[in-house]
C-alpha cells in the first residue's frame, strides 16, 4: 500500500484559530470528555497538554470539568485536529501524542490514522525520541497499524496489552468491563528520522490555497 504526500499547504485554518508559542507540549487528539487529559495533567504537572476534541458536546463537558479542577497545564481545545496541527504546531515541538480509541472507520480504512498521508506530517511535529500512543479495542486495527509502521513509516514501536484496571477513558472502562482485549502501540520517533515536512512552519491561521493556485497558473 502506497500513501500519497499530504497537502499541508491546502489546509484551511479551524474556526476561531489561535496560534500557540513554540515550546514543548503534549497533544491528545480526540480527547472526548477529557477523562485522560485531566488524569494526565494531574499526574504530570510539569508537562503542558493540549486536548483537542472536535465534537462540541464532548468538548463542553471537558471544558466544564477543567474549570472545576483548574489545572494550569491543561488546555482544552474545540477543533478538528488535522487542520489545527498544521496551523498551530512547529517541527519537533511535541513530546507525546495520544490517540486513544479512535474511530476505527470500518467503511473507510483510508481514514485510519496510520493509513493517512497526514501521519507523516504528524511525525514531523514530534520531537526526537517523542512518542505516539495509539490505543484500540479492535485487534485488526492494531495489527494493521503494526504493518504500516513496519512497511510504510519504518518506525520502532512497542505493543502492549492494556491492564484490566486501566481507566484512562470512558471507552477504555467500557471495553475492559466487557472483557475485550485493549492494546496500544507506543510509537517512537528515532533521532535523525526524516520526513518531507521537517522544515514546514505552522500556517498560523493563513489560508495558502489562493497563492498556491496562482503559482500553479504562472
Give pLDDT tens digits for 93-134: 999 999 999 999 999 999 999 999 999 999 999 999 999 999
Residue 210 has pLDDT above 60, yes or no: no
Q: What is the pLDDT of residue 104?
A: 94
Residue 1 has pLDDT above 80, yes or no: no
Q: What is the pLDDT of residue 2?
A: 63
Choose among 23, 24, 32: nearest CA to 100: 32
HSE value, Cβ hemisphere, 13 Å, CA-based, for 204: 8
Domains delineated in the chain: 23-217 (3.40.50.150)
Q: What is the pLDDT of residue 138?
A: 97
pLDDT tens digits for 85-94?
999 999 999 9
| Grid cell locating 189 | 520517533
- Mean pLDDT across the chain: 92
H or E stretch at 148:
helix 139-148
pLDDT tens digits for 153-198?
999 999 999 999 999 999 999 999 999 999 999 999 999 999 999 9
- pTM of the entire structure? 0.92
Residue 211 has pLDDT above 90, yes or no: no
Amino acid at each position: 500500500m502506497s500513501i500519497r504526500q499530504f497537502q499541508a499547504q491546502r489546509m484551511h485554518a479551524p474556526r476561531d484559530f489561535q496560534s500557540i508559542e513554540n515550546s514543548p507540549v503534549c497533544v491528545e487528539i480526540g480527547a472526548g470528555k477529557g477523562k485522560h487529559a485531566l488524569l494526565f495533567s494531574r499526574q504530570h504537572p510539569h508537562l503542558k497538554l493540549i486536548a483537542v476534541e472536535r465534537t462540541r458536546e464532548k468538548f463542553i463537558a471537558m471544558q466544564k470539568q477543567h474549570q472545576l479542577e483548574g489545572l494550569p497545564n491543561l488546555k482544552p481545545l474545540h477543533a478538528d485536529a488535522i487542520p489545527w496541527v498544521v496551523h498551530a504546531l512547529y517541527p519537533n515541538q511535541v513530546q507525546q501524542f495520544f490517540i486513544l480509541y479512535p474511530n476505527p472507520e470500518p467503511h473507510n480504512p483510508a481514514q485510519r490514522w496510520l493509513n493517512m498521508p497526514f501521519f507523516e506530517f504528524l511525525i514531523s511535529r514530534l520531537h526526537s525520541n517523542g512518542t505516539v500512543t495509539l490505543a484500540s479495542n479492535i485487534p485488526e486495527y492494531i495489527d494493521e497499524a503494526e504493518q504500516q509502521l513496519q512497511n510504510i513509516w519504518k518506525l520502532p514501536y512497542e505493543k502492549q496489552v492494556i491492564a484490566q484496571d486501566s481507566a484512562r477513558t470512558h471507552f477504555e472502562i467500557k471495553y475492559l468491563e466487557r472483557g475485550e482485549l485493549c492494546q496500544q502501540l507506543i510509537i517512537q520517533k528515532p533521532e535523525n528520522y526524516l520526513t518531507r515536512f521537517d522544515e514546514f512552519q505552522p500556517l498560523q491561521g493563513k489560508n495558502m490555497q489562493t497563492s498556491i493556485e496562482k503559482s500553479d497558473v504562472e
